[in-house]
Structure 1
Amino acid sequence: MADDPQRNFRSAYYEKVGFRGVEEKKSLEILLKDNPLDLEKLSTFSQRFPLPSMYRIHVWKVLLGILPPHSDSHFLVGGYRKEQYQDIMEALEVMRYINSSTPSTQVYLRMFQLESQVLPRCSETSAPDEENEDFLSISRAMEEIVDDPVDCYWLIKCFVNQFHTKFGDSIPHLPKSLEHYLSQEEPRLLNHLKISGAIAQLPYSLWFRRCFAGCLPESSLQRVWDKVISGSCKILVFVALEILLSYKIILMGINRPESIVRFLCNIPQENTDAIVTKAIDLWHKYCGTPMHAV
């Protein structure tokens, strides 16, 4: 699409006077008036721009298939989702898997297992394995973003299912992609991480399988999830890349791999908004048109 000089002038003016994103917000509102909603256009918007907080959850629910494209069915389908949530909860209570004191994230896990037909026997329940820990981390993060427990469960469930279905085969290759882009941006840092033995021990689970849940605060995390939900897992590589670049001086001064990993698992939270912004810029730089950045 050719650049629109008039639109670019308006966007620059709005940003200069402190109304960044005004044009984008209006564009999204127009898209949300379509019936049925155009999922491709919504995905394109989410790839190109940050979602306004007031519309984020609604757009996520549509893109994840929790709500259908036909807007006039949203109220009815929302009622069905709530009824299904309550039915699953009651079933787990009757089977004594959960009670009033069960942590909500554990409740979501049991609900997910029941719907996925992998619910263990009560006598066989044990400490969560790696996959369940990933689910619980995403659940804890989603709880901080979403207030309503019904919406929270459906968003967790559909986010996890979509992520595994769309990107399951790609996730094991993301560490190599990270090394490739790091070699382009800062080869000295890559060499240091290799020589120290840290490159193979980086917290890839926290970064990639958990989509940075437990690593970034929710204010930054939701901007990353905008891109994942709308069709890109490669954004995760660039967030990891920007974390490494942002702390290059510190990392270059550490030689013990366990110390490097410990630092990267506990990065300072006050800098994460800037890190995510720079990561999105890098993602655009290397991947071109955002919709092609899958």
Structure 2
Amino acid sequence: MSEDSQRNFRSVYYEKVGFRGVEEKKSLEILLKDERWDMEKLCTFCQRFPLPSMYRILVWKVLLGILPPHQETHLLVMVYRREQYEDVYHALEVMRYINEATPKSHVFLYMNLLESGRLSKIQRVLSAEDPEDELFLAVADAVEEMVDDDVDCYWLTKTFVQHLDTKFRDSQLGLQKGFEQYLTLEDGRLVAHLKACGALDKLPYDSWFRKCFASSLPPSSLQRVWDKLVSGSCKILVFVAVEILLTFKMKVMALNNSQTINEFLEKIPEDNTDPIVNKAIDLWHKHCGVPAHSV
């Protein structure tokens, strides 16, 4: 194999596992070798490049505060996290809120309600009518497909939802306005069609922005979007929504009422989601650059 062929092979391989170049892998490994991780540099890396699966969960746990930046403490802290998980789980079993048949996402929500002092004595069946609980369940279902360990799943779900509430609580309206702004820049004719159909204000913004695409994208695509959220930017959500519309422009243009457009966009084909996320990240870089904590 020639040198050029070897180089091309490596480039394709690293792109498949989440890197666009060999140097990105080296730079991340250098960051992770430090005894104390530099949080700002780690956030900047996540903003610029996708995290590969081999590092993603560990990096998320540090950025979300589940683990401290000091590597030498990681093992001990996770022992404490696991013990806390087991104590709360056992308490819910004793109180007969959960059993072996309880869906994991519901178990995690019960645990969160108990730890936050919001668990009702009569709340034996979850209805998810509370928007906060509905969001928690949507995130839990998505995270459950990303990680194998229940303890990691609970702590990632809990802290990710807290992260969203702390960082992006009041961003929904701004994201919706930003979506219209950037979609107009990319394709004004498509925006005009959505307005003419009365669909622009009725798109599935709740699933897109409030739930961070947790019920719209498969985990393989979703986690690359959440890399940006975990590291401090919610604006990536705008460009994912924009790219969904651009990708399915011909289909949307053929629909003439808000209901059918909304129904289609709520069930986008999963085989298109990886290209959509790739293009959305490119759009985000194009319009916003790559600041460390862009919101």
TM range (shorter): over 0.9
1:41 partnered with 2:41: yes
Give per-residue Cα distances to partners, 1:191-211, cap 9 Å, x unaligned: 111111111111111101111
Change (3 A) 1:141 1:16: closer
Matched position secondary structure for 1:290? coil
Q: Which residues of 2 match residues 239-258 of structure 1 at below 5 A?
A: 239-258=240-259
Q: Any conservation in 2 of the 1:215–1:265 contact (CA below 8 Å)?
A: yes
Give per-residue Cα distances to partners, 1:62-82, cap 9 Å, x unaligned: 000000011111011000000
Shift of 1:124: 7.1
Partner of 1:92 in structure 2? 92
Shift of 1:17: 6.3
Q: Any conservation in 1 of the 2:231–2:293 contact (CA below 8 Å)?
A: no
Where does the alignment leave 5 or more consecutive residues of structure 2 unmatched?
1-6
Partner of 2:161 in structure 1? 160
Shift of 1:16: 5.0
Shift of 1:171: 2.2
Q: Any conservation in 2 of the 1:183–1:190 contact (CA below 8 Å)?
A: yes
Change (3 A) 1:99 1:197: same
Partner of 1:133 in structure 2? 134
Amino acid at match of 1:255: N
Q: Which residues of 2 match residues 1-40 of structure 1 at below 5 A?
A: 16=11, 18-20=13-15, 21=19, 22-40=22-40
Matched position secondary structure for 2:145? helix
Shift of 1:18: 4.6
1:176 partnered with 2:174: no
- Distance, in Å, in 2 between the alignment partners of 1:289 and 1:126 is 40
Shift of 1:160: 0.4
- Distance, in Å, in 2 between the alignment partners of 1:213 and 1:117 is 26
Matched position secondary structure for 1:122? coil
- Distance, in Å, in 2 between the alignment partners of 1:149 and 1:209 is 24
Q: Any conservation in 1 of the 2:106–2:126 contact (CA below 8 Å)?
A: no
Partner of 2:265 in structure 1? 264
Partner of 1:9 in structure 2? none
- Distance, in Å, in 2 between the alignment partners of 1:95 and 1:172 is 40
Shift of 1:141: 0.6
Shift of 1:97: 1.1
Amino acid at match of 1:210: K
Matched position secondary structure for 2:33? coil
- Distance, in Å, in 2 between the alignment partners of 1:17 and 1:264 is 31
What count of residue pairs does the alignment treat as equivalent? 283
Q: Which residues of 2 match residues 157-236 of structure 1 at below 5 A?
A: 157-236=158-237
- Distance, in Å, in 1 between the alignment partners of 2:232 and 2:293 is 9
- Distance, in Å, in 1 between the alignment partners of 2:14 and 2:260 is 42
Matched position secondary structure for 2:216? coil
The CA RMSD over aligned residues, in Å, is 1.6
Shift of 1:131: 2.4
Q: Any conservation in 1 of the 2:40–2:292 contact (CA below 8 Å)?
A: no
Shift of 1:13: 6.4
Shift of 1:258: 0.6
Q: Any conservation in 1 of the 2:43–2:293 contact (CA below 8 Å)?
A: no
Give per-residue Cα distances to partners, 1:83-117, cap 9 Å, x unaligned: 00001101111221111211111000111111222
Partner of 2:3 in structure 1? none
Partner of 1:150 in structure 2? 151
Q: Between the two proteins, what is the percent identity of the paired residues?
A: 59
Change (3 A) 1:192 1:135: same
Give per-residue Cα distances to partners, 1:8-40, cap 9 Å, x unaligned: xxxx86765654432211111110111111111
Amino acid at match of 1:52: P
Where does the alignment leave 5 or more consecutive residues of structure 1 unmatched?
1-11
Q: Which moved more, 1:147-156 or 1:282-291?
A: 282-291
Partner of 1:6 in structure 2? none
- Distance, in Å, in 2 between the alignment partners of 1:218 and 1:43 is 21
- Distance, in Å, in 1 between the alignment partners of 2:105 and 2:124 is 19
Q: Which residues of 2 match residues 109-124 of structure 1 at below 5 A?
A: 109-122=109-122
Q: Any conservation in 2 of the 1:284–1:290 contact (CA below 8 Å)?
A: no
Q: Any conservation in 2 of the 1:113–1:119 contact (CA below 8 Å)?
A: yes
Partner of 2:287 in structure 1? 286
Structure 1 stretches (4+) deviating beyond 3 angstroms?
12-20, 123-126
